[in-house]
């Protein structure tokens, strides 16, 4: 018997259906957790609206809307490969695993609690992606990613530089400024409540602690001769329905890093991209060409893959009667 799925009303934000619907759909423990956090979301909404009315300016609007991109998939899609291309492969892998874990677990918790974002109105939502209202609010993925990455980079700076080193001080201040801009920006733009950001911050520390504590064990996967790293392919394919984007990243990152470490030409290409004071004008020009060409290839590949998927996947979903965007799925 074929399943039928009820279409959702597209003008209703995620998590804003009648509370009785969630209490009926969830078991007792899950419903109690959601009901214990929901009053905080509702109480903070008029506070955020009052804050926006008091401090909003055109300059701050532009700043926080643009800095919100520093916590998105597109930013990390460009930023992480650049780290690897320019001789920081280990750091790039660690940050990729960090952000993948942050996106995965924050998305899982969002679907578990099904809590709404601040209501608009009274809050004004400032965003370049209107479809974000289709996602739940708690915890904030932007907060999770920005704070976990900032903590990891601060730890690297503290480990690498002496306490009195200007580079260490600049690195710490820069990372803190980045994290504060992104997190406060979520409040300023009306996309999250304080509760969302606090939840994202707690999750960020957990993800950071795990990645920092076991970073040597993760790096051994890519430098050893063991083939266990290739198990990530079937594991990620199994969990791909939970988050397609970062599961795809891990499928490429982990086996690809292992192959690169065991291939002479790949390793030589990474080490030759390390910038130094002795680099001449021609070397700097080649690195610039590599940067521009690499980023262009990333976007071309992304656009091409989307086109192919939009062509291939719809017939498969129709053939197996799988739920898709227009239908009620998961916790919805």
For the chain, the residue count is: 332
Q: What's the rounded Cα separation, in Å, for the pair 44 and 47?
A: 5
| Cis check: omega of the bond before 254, within 30 degrees of 0 | no
Match 């910038």 to its residue by tokens.
275
**Inter-residue contact 145 to 199 (CB < 8 Å):** no
**DSSP H or E stretch at residue 285:** helix 281-319
Pairs from 15-24 (Cβ < 8 Å, separation ≥ 24): 15/114, 15/115, 15/116, 15/117, 15/136, 15/137, 16/116, 16/119, 22/114
Rg of the chain over CA atoms, in angstroms?
A: 22
Match 């930023």 to its residue by tokens.
79
142 carries an active-site annotation: yes
Strand partners, 7: 327
**Inter-residue contact 146 to 183 (CB < 8 Å):** yes
Q: Which of 17, 73, 124, 192 is catalytic?
A: 192
Q: What's the rounded Cα separation, in Å, for the pair 156 and 179?
A: 16
Q: Which of 17, 142, 243, 262 is catalytic?
A: 142
124 carries an active-site annotation: no
Handedness of CA 8, 12, 14, 16 (dihedral sign): negative
Catalytic residues: 142, 192
């Amino acid at each position: 018997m074929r399943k039928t799925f009820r279409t959702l009303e597209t003008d209703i934000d995620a998590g804003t259906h009648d509370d009785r619907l969630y209490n009926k759909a969830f078991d007792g423990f899950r419903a109690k957790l959601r009901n214990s956090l929901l009053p905080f979301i509702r109480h903070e909404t008029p506070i955020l609206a009052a804050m926006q009315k008091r401090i909003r300016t055109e300059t701050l609007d532009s700043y926080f809307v643009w800095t919100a991109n520093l916590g998105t998939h597109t930013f990390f899609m460009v930023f992480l490969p650049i780290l690897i291309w320019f001789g920081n492969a280990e750091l790039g892998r660690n940050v990729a695993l960090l952000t993948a874990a942050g996106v995965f677990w924050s998305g899982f918790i969002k679907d578990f609690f099904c809590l709404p974002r601040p209501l608009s109105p009274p809050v004004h939502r400032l965003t370049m992606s209107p479809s974000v209202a289709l996602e739940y609010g708690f915890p904030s993925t932007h907060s999770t990613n920005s704070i976990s990455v900032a903590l990891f980079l601060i730890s690297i700076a503290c480990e690498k530089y002496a306490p009195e080193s200007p580079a260490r001080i600049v690195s710490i201040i820069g990372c803190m400024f980045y994290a504060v801009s992104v997190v406060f920006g979520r409040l300023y733009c009306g996309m999250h409540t304080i509760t969302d950001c606090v939840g994202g911050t707690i999750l960020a520390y957990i993800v950071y602690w795990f990645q920092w504590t076991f970073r040597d064990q993760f790096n051994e996967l890519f430098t050893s001769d063991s083939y266990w790293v290739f198990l990530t392919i079937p594991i990620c394919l199994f969990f791909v329905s939970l988050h397609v984007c970062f599961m795809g990243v891990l499928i490429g990152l982990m086996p690809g890093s292992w192959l690169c470490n065991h291939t002479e030409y790949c390793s030589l290409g990474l080490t030759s991209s390390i910038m130094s004071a002795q680099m001449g004008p021609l070397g700097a020009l080649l690195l610039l060409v590599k940067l521009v060409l690499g980023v262009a290839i990333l976007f071309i590949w992304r656009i091409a893959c989307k086109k192919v998927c939009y062509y291939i996947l719809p017939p498969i979903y129709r053939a197996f009667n799988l739920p898709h965007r227009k239908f009620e799925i998961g916790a919805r």
